[in-house]
A = this chain, B = another copy of it.
Amino acid sequence: MVEEIKVSFIGAGTVGRSLIAMLDGKHHLIERKYGIRFKLVAIFEYDGALIDEQGVDIQSLVYGKNMRRMDAWKPGITALETIESLDFDLLVEMTPTNVKTGEPAFSHIKKALISGKDVVSSNKGPFLLHFDEIMGLSRQTGKKVRFEATVGSCIPVLQSWRTSMHGNKVLRIEAILNGTSNYILTRMANEKLDFSIALKEAQERGYAEADPTLDIDGHDAAGKLVILANALMGMARTNKDVKVEGITHINPEAINMASKEGFVIKHLGIADEDGTLEVKPFLIPKNSPLGAGITGTLNAVRIVTDLSGEIILVGHGAGGDEAASAILSDMIDIYLKS
């Protein structure tokens, strides 16, 4: 028996478009292997929405058609006013992150849960500011919330913890959570570049934003660290609780000195059961799992548990396809019959 799940997207940027292409390319596999058929009934954007209760025309979108020129486009309609009344099962929240307010994603997620919809989100904001409130609402309503893509993108840290380390207690997390800062530090180490040159290169290659502040000052990593600490260690913290130090003052001399002693400098987030929550540059032995092998835009999370010792997960923590892959896995997992 194939179960049909009606889905609404909010946000049709890089991630949303990747996800639409995956739903199109993988729909046979998803039906056959998991017994699920996702019917996309709405895509909300900032200036309107594509709404079709029979299922929006995914193929045309994949072929590049502008959704605003499609018959089902309703200009001016907002997600917030529509979530409750529209008939669907799952909200996929992919709006841009606002780390100060968590909005509009936080309101979307609350509204969806209260209206009896499950939620998958790639948006860090609500989870680094209002983790406890969202989880409480999920318990109250019996509706599920998944957010793998918010930390390390497709690296399955949250889901592995939920499903693969039962009985364990997490004692400590050490993680490289920002690909931009890791790319800069890698290039500085390997090519003896100054910080500013490495940053410029990262921007030219599309690995850093025009305004890279959140990445290089550690606040992006801090937000992800909070989500990890809350989800894996039962903390109830926000990004304001993280002591943060950036990498702008790291110079080639420091990297060189570290290297001579067998270390690399990595921008590490650390959460410890003693309450420590910090992001700062650390000396890490080159020849260790979080050391010189975590190059470029890779992310890595080291989870120290009481029974299993250390488990390290590594992968590409950014990119439209990577985030979409994490979202797709979350979407399937919610409706999977074991």
> Which of A57-65, A275-283, A323-331 forms part of the interface with chain B?
A323-331
Partner of A307, one of B30, B34, B328, B336: B328
Partner of A167, one of B160, B291, B305, B332: B332
* Interface residue A85 (Cβ < 8 Å from any Cβ of B): no
A283 to B: closest C-beta gap in Å: 15
Q: Which of A312-338 contact B (CB under 8 A)?
A: 312-316, 321-322, 324-326, 328-329, 332-333, 336, 338
Which residues of the partner chain B approach A313 to less than 8 Å between Cβ atoms?
311-314
Write the A230-252 contact mask toward B (1 if CB under 8 angstroms, else 0). 00000000000000000000000
B289 touches A292 (CB 8 A): no
CA distance A313 to B290 in the complex (A): 12
A310 touches B321 (CB 8 A): no
B156 touches A311 (CB 8 A): yes
Which residues of the partner chain B approach A165 to less than 8 Å between Cβ atoms?
154, 156, 325, 329
Task: Give the dominant DSSP class at A's interface.
Answer: mixed
* Interface residue A206 (Cβ < 8 Å from any Cβ of B): no
With A287-B292, A289-B298 in contact, is A308–B167 under 8 Å at CB? no
Closest to A313 in B: B313
A282 to B: closest C-beta gap in Å: 15
Which residues of the partner chain B approach A310 to less than 8 Å between Cβ atoms?
314-316
Closest to A316 in B: B309
With A289-B294, A289-B298, A292-B292 in contact, is A168–B329 under 8 Å at CB? yes
A333 touches B293 (CB 8 A): no
Other than the given A164-B329, A288-B293, A309-B322, 16 more pairs (CB < 8 A) read A154-B308, A154-B311, A155-B311, A156-B163, A159-B160, A163-B163, A164-B333, A165-B329, A166-B328, A166-B332, A166-B336, A286-B292, A287-B293, A308-B322, A311-B313, A313-B314
* CB<8 Å pairs between A and B, sample of 21: A26-B167, A154-B307, A154-B309, A155-B311, A156-B164, A160-B164, A163-B333, A166-B329, A166-B333, A166-B336, A286-B293, A290-B293, A308-B316, A308-B325, A309-B321, A310-B315, A310-B316, A311-B314, A311-B315, A312-B315, A314-B314
Task: Pick the 8 closest A-B CB pairs, nearest first.
Answer: A156-B164, A166-B332, A307-B325, A159-B164, A154-B308, A312-B314, A293-B293, A163-B163
